[in-house]
Chains A and B, each alone.
Chain A
């Protein structure tokens, strides 16, 4: 018995050794491969949806996100601790991924990505640009932070006047200066100067160090330059303290009086600047989601924003194509009066008196909108450039198919499926607009 035991031990030890060697030997050469594969699979599962498979920042939702997802293939990053034009450090990328970017759609991945997975994703992101192979990040010296004393803040105010921050960010720090609203970034996308009174929406972070870095490194690709050479490090620390001192209280830490004032100020703003507020409402309420044609991957056709043409077949109740919201006289809202628009938005009654089903356009929900908000939305829609896109009239299935559908839904309680179609169901005049590599889809005109 003992012998047997010994013998098995005698064979087991070399076998175990052999196994160890077999495990250890190939690792040296293939060590890189598993990490790259892990990075690729993690990137494609989590990041590619917005940043695109090739890292070009062109995933399906990209066209309607503001700001857009970063184009990773150019090696140009906004939030760095390195000189303007330099690549970011791994630490910078890790910071952006784990903490996210406030005020954008980049979430904080901290709870979901850590350790080797995080490293693998960072390496994969770096592989999109050759810059990371050929260059080394040039770190910015931080210098000694200046404490936020009243004298430092006053000095910072002088610096902000010297650097003309108010030119874009507004002299009151609200980012509502004359130029600020029509800024463009390097990719030609609309961008706006940050509202300096709302520190919780500063993308690169809210500490004095974060702000110092924004002044010192600039935000590459945007109109925000690096102030290296124009201002000293001490000036920039003072400026950081000054900008932080502009911050107002967020609504979640206000008291009763302040909340009341905040909301009444908001309603004043709606009345005095209806177009600006209307833009906010139209963007946040997602009108463009249905009132633009989509491609088969779900991305909207950017050149045809707000021109309608998205077909929703809601068998058996209606087969509708979203309307052209631009101010085109013939095919858009150009010759609708404000009253007609208000009636449609709140009662679902079209110009010709016909009724709309209460979906997918939720007019029953818009009915409880404040008058000022409705006016603001209409005021903004009036500013849209006219585009010709003729929308077909809503179609209904023929009477038998309609009744059969109703029978299925209401008596047999079957699920019916509604379909949303890609492509433009409207008719465009300009060839260039309809040539968006999407098949034009004409709905069957079935009259009831």
Chain B
């Protein structure tokens, strides 16, 4: 009797362990979710522009939406959630990246929020960042963190369209901390590091 119980315990135990491993194996989604689902989420997060009454502004904002979506600004500027990006805070900022010898940057809040987002910046200030990486406070952004060297290649008209579109996002009240001193690299041979998870999580713990 004891022997049977012992064996049953071992079997149940190993099944539990195996089950836990396979549970782990089959969660995050990347290999198991069809590509169309990723696309649906990425594109679906962008707001509809149908309620803009001025037809000129709507046409320009549509072009801006196309650029912002296909350039994947949200890859860095949308915070990560439990499963992939947290789309309810679309372009709310908060991921972290750094380059050897430079500061660690937290991606900024791009929504028109008056206190934390681009609501407090003029069009010229936003365009200046897209063109030359010079941030509104007079500091330069590293071109590997904020790839301004590529948005500099957009025509002035396309950059204008991006700014017009960003003005029509849903405001997200999310404070982004200032850049911080470079942290020690886990891997000293690497040139650049990126934190994949939402920096907001760590921020809230502090």
Q: Give residues in A with beta carbon < 8 Å to B.
A: 46, 49, 60-61, 64-66, 100, 102-109, 111-112, 198, 200-201, 250-252, 254-256, 259-260, 263, 280, 283-286, 289, 294-298, 313-314, 317, 346-349, 355, 357-360, 362-370, 373, 402-403, 406-407, 409-411, 413-422, 441
**Chain B residues in 8 Å Cβ range of A107:** 128, 131-132, 134
Given A105-B148, A251-B60, A411-B24, 16 additional A-B pairs, CB 8 A: A61-B149, A105-B152, A107-B132, A198-B156, A201-B156, A256-B59, A284-B151, A289-B144, A294-B192, A298-B99, A347-B35, A363-B35, A373-B70, A417-B195, A419-B190, A421-B190
B50 at the interface (CB under 8 A from A): no
**Chain A residues in 8 Å Cβ range of B151:** 284
Contact B75 A362 (CB under 8 A): yes
User: Among B27, B71, B132, B187, which residue has its beta carbon within 8 angstroms of that of A105?
Assistant: B132
User: Among B25, B30, B59, B193, which residue has its beta carbon within 8 angstroms of that of A419?
Assistant: B193
Contact A65 B152 (CB under 8 A): yes
Known: A107-B128, A251-B157, A251-B161. A368 touches B69 (CB 8 A): yes
Write the B172-185 contact mask toward A (1 if CB under 8 angstroms, else 0).
00000000000001
Known: A105-B132, A252-B160, A418-B195. A364 touches B71 (CB 8 A): no
Residue of B nearest to A373 (CB): B70
Known: A65-B149, A422-B191. A403 touches B132 (CB 8 A): no
B4 at the interface (CB under 8 A from A): no
Contact B143 A296 (CB under 8 A): no
CB distance from B72 to the nearest CB of A (A): 4
Residue of A nearest to B32 (CB): A355
Contact B30 A283 (CB under 8 A): no
Residue of B nearest to A256 (CB): B55
Contact residue range for chain B?
35 or more
B9 at the interface (CB under 8 A from A): no
Write the B4-19 contact mask toward A (1 if CB under 8 angstroms, else 0).
0000000000000000
User: Among B31, B138, B156, which residue has its beta carbon within 8 angstroms of that of A355?
Assistant: B31
**Chain B residues in 8 Å Cβ range of A105:** 131-133, 148-149, 152
Residue of B nearest to A406 (CB): B24
Known: A46-B140, A296-B191. A413 touches B201 (CB 8 A): yes
B52 at the interface (CB under 8 A from A): no
User: Among A46, A251, A346, A409, which residue has its beta carbon within 8 angstroms of that of B197?
Assistant: A409
Tell me the residues in window 82-99 of chain B with beta carbons closer than 8 Å to chain A beta carbons: 82, 99
A–B Cβ pairs within 8 angstroms, 22 of them = A64-B149, A109-B134, A251-B60, A251-B161, A256-B56, A284-B71, A284-B153, A313-B187, A313-B190, A346-B39, A347-B35, A355-B31, A360-B75, A362-B75, A364-B42, A367-B43, A415-B202, A417-B193, A419-B185, A419-B194, A421-B191, A422-B191
User: Among A108, A348, A365, A368, which residue has its beta carbon within 8 angstroms of that of B75?
Assistant: A365
CA of A65 to CA of B131 in the docked complex: distance in angstroms? 10
Contact A406 B191 (CB under 8 A): no
CA of A399 to CA of B161 in the docked complex: distance in angstroms? 46
Known: A284-B154, A365-B42, A368-B69. A420 touches B192 (CB 8 A): yes
CA of A102 to CA of B155 in the docked complex: distance in angstroms? 11
User: Among A254, A355, A441, which residue has its beta carbon within 8 angstroms of that of B30?
Assistant: A355
User: Among A112, A255, A284, A366, which residue has its beta carbon within 8 angstroms of that of B158?
Assistant: A284
Residue of A nearest to B38 (CB): A364
Contact A416 B153 (CB under 8 A): no
CB distance from A140 to the nearest CB of B (A): 29
